[in-house]
Amino acid sequence: MTRNRPSPPAARPPSLPPRPRGGFGRAVLAILWKDLAAEMRSRELLSAMLVFALLVILIFNFAIELAPALRSTITPGVLWVTLAFAGTLGLNRSMAVEKDRGCLDGLLLAPVDRSAIFFGKMLANLVFMLLVAAILLPVYSLLYNINLFRPGLLLVILLGSLGYVAVGTLLAGMAVQARTREVLLPILLFPVIVPVLLAAVRASGGFLQSAPFEQILPWLNLLIGYDVIFLAVAYMVFDFIVEE
């Protein structure tokens, strides 16, 4: 008689790699720190944005001779045109570098929520845009002899920059897959960003001209509402946008 041999133990299914501790917030901070550290080593993105913004300000300074009474009227438009074009340059480069170096595929394979990639990249773009604004404001104040360091104007710059990079980072993640991404991103971005630019220009002009706060409040509410809506939309759809 043959004895019944014991069956070999069933193989355990391979375990998934553990998610990093700290979850979503730690992943966002890791991506933010990666972008800041890479920019501190290369200084390619920030230097290009700064040079572009300063050149635009100098061109406006030589092209427009303004009377002192008109400076507070035209300053918001000049300021936000400069920030918008410099920010578009930074948004385009931030995603293109990730795609060209193959880092974007590595980020998508990481065991974290893909919306953390969006928020990390968005915060890095926001830091770069605010740094450009911090250098641009004193240069503009010196050239045009106007005080731009007002708490209300600084709040508008923060809210407008947040809405700009929220929409821009989302659309840059969509355009980075295309060969003509340098041309495609501005075409997609500027029609969507018109409410932010309009509200930012109106609110900035109100603070510079010392308008009543009741006239500025609707534009501030529009900026805040736009920021909240597009941050929520980006959180929900970024996973589908970056899928190939």
Query: Is the model's pLDDT at 5 over the cut of 60?
Result: no
With b for 16 or more beta-carbon neighbours within 10 A and e for fewer, the 93-132 pattern comes to: bbbbbbeeeeebeebeebebbbbbbbbbbbbbbbbbbbeb
Query: Is the model's pLDDT at 69 over the cut of 80?
Result: no
**pLDDT tens per residue, range 131-187:** 999 999 998 888 888 888 889 999 999 999 999 999 999 888 888 777 777 788 888
pLDDT, position 197: 93
- Per-residue confidence band for 12, with pLDDT thresholds at 50, 70 and 90: very low
For 137, the 3-state DSSP assignment is helix
Count structural domains, the chain. 1
pLDDT, position 27: 86
Of all residues in the chain, what percent carry a pLDDT higher than 90? 32
CA dist 16 and 1 (Å) reads: 45
DSSP character at residue 111: S
Whether 3 is in a domain gets the answer no
pLDDT, position 14: 44
Mean pLDDT of the chain: 82
- Per-residue confidence band for 221, with pLDDT thresholds at 50, 70 and 90: very high
Whether 6 is in a domain gets the answer no
Whether 13 is in a domain gets the answer no
Whether 117 is in a domain gets the answer yes
Average pLDDT of the segment spanning 16-27 = 60
Least confidently predicted of 34-43, 64-73, 110-119, 138-147: 64-73
89-to-79, 82, 113 alpha-carbon distances in Å: 16, 11, 27
Q: Which domain holds residue 143?
A: 23-239
**pLDDT tens per residue, range 32-57:** 998 888 888 877 788 888 888 888 88
Whether 18 is in a domain gets the answer no
> Hey, what are 151's tokens?
């708490």
Whether 119 is in a domain gets the answer yes
DSSP character at residue 178: S
Whether 39 is in a domain gets the answer yes
Whether 158 is in a domain gets the answer yes
